[in-house]
């Protein structure tokens, strides 16, 4: 296949592009290289992709519809996997219009490109955040998701509704994937595992919210990519699908922190704080549907996955130090 992957300079998009190329597919990458986190990391990911045969990249915003459609048509892509988005629950409290532009306008542009290019299938990233404050565990695709508690979550739920409308009106398949706390090498520096590893390795305190009484379905990147790739090719899917992709285990945040400390050989210094607005105390994925329809079966345990991330973080210390420096500079300039 030739697959248009949006967000290829981002964490999941980068790994998906690498894996698709490894499998012999061609990848057309799109990213706008925004400065939500240090661009040096995005450039480093993209440089690795640019060096590979079978990859071509474009620096555009997916909301630029005319340019996006031109790329889809010129490159003659077979399908789209839309992973680009403005991420982050807490960031949405201070920068709401970034989510309107990227997650709503950008997604509409993707839907229109799929329709106008007459592509048969669109795969796109949703999020476990759509479950809001749901207390029923594990989270099932059948659960109500009509009460999001952050703007980020609301935009992801809106994407699912928009996709349903386009599938109903125009007939192409739309496959929404609800990701659960993805982590691993080349991850995002605003995510817990990066922030904690960075702080512990430097002997700095880490902020532990809800006084440590948090649980997450931590899902290793390789397992997520296996699910995404299956969703691009599976012939067992309905016209409109929503699927959980998680590890099917709700791990205690304190165990996650202690695993980081163990692999770094350092004792974490913790500052316990109350719950942050828009956050939830626990997530836990019911993955039966993904298992039945995609053969999805995550295999990476938390301790193994944390160990792999810590090893990568130390190996790429020049890059991770630059990310640290860039973030400190950004804080000083605010």
Q: Catalytic positions, please?
A: 152
How far apart CA 180 and CA 175 sit, in angstroms, is: 16
Element (H, E) at 169: helix 151-170
| Burial class (CB within 10 angstroms; exposed 0-12, middle 13-18, buried 19+) of 58 | middle
Phi, psi (rounded to 5 degrees) for 60 = -145, 165
Closest CA to 190 of 37, 32, 34, 9: 37
Q: Which residues are registered as beta bridge partners of 178?
A: 126, 244
Token pair recorded at residue 279? 């956050």
Q: What whole-number distance in Å separates Cα of residue 273 and Cα of residue 266? A: 22
The token pair at 289 is 């549907």
Residues 6+ away with beta carbon under 8 Å from 220: 182, 183, 184, 247, 298, 300, 304, 305, 308
CA distances (Å), origin 19, targets 53, 149, 212? 13, 34, 35
Kindly list the strands in the beta sheet with 79-82, ordered across the sheet, starting from the edge strand earlier in the chain.
Answer: 55-59, 26-31, 2-6, 79-82, 121-127, 173-179, 240-245
């Amino acid at each position: 296949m030739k697959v248009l992957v949006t967000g290829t300079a981002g964490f999941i998009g980068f790994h998906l592009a690498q894996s698709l190329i490894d499998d012999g597919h061609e990848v057309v990458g799109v990213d706008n290289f925004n400065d939500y986190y240090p661009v040096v990391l995005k450039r480093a990911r993209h440089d690795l992709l640019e060096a590979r045969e079978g990859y071509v990249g474009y620096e555009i915003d997916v909301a630029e519809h005319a340019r996006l459609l031109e790329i889809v048509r010129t490159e003659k892509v077979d399908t789209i996997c839309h992973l680009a988005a403005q991420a982050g629950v807490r960031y949405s409290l201070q920068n709401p219009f970034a989510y309107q532009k990227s997650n709503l306008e950008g997604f509409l542009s993707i839907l229109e490109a799929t329709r106008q290019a007459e592509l048969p299938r669109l795969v796109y990233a949703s999020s476990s955040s759509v479950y809001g404050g749901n207390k029923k565990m594990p989270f099932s695709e059948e659960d109500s998701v009509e009460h999001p508690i952050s703007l980020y979550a609301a935009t992801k739920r809106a994407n699912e509704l928009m996709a349903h409308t386009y599938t109903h009106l125009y007939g192409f398949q739309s496959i929404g994937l609800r990701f659960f706390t993805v982590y691993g090498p080349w991850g995002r520096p605003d995510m817990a595992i990066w922030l904690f590893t960075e702080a512990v390795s430097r002997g700095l305190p880490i902020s532990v919210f809800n006084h440590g009484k948090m649980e997450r379905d931590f899902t290793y990147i390789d397992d997520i990519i296996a699910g995404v790739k299956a969703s691009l090719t599976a012939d067992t899917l309905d016209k409109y699908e929503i699927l959980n992709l998680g590890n099917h285990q709700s791990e205690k945040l304190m165990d996650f922190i202690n695993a980081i400390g163990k692999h770094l050989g350092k004792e974490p210094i913790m500052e316990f704080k109350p719950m942050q607005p828009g956050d939830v105390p626990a997530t836990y994925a019911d993955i039966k549907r993904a298992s039945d329809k995609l053969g999805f079966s995550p295999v990476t345990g938390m301790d193994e996955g944390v160990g792999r991330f810590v090893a990568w973080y130390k190996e790429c210390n020049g890059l991770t130090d630059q990310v640290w420096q860039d973030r400190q500079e950004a804080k000083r300039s605010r």
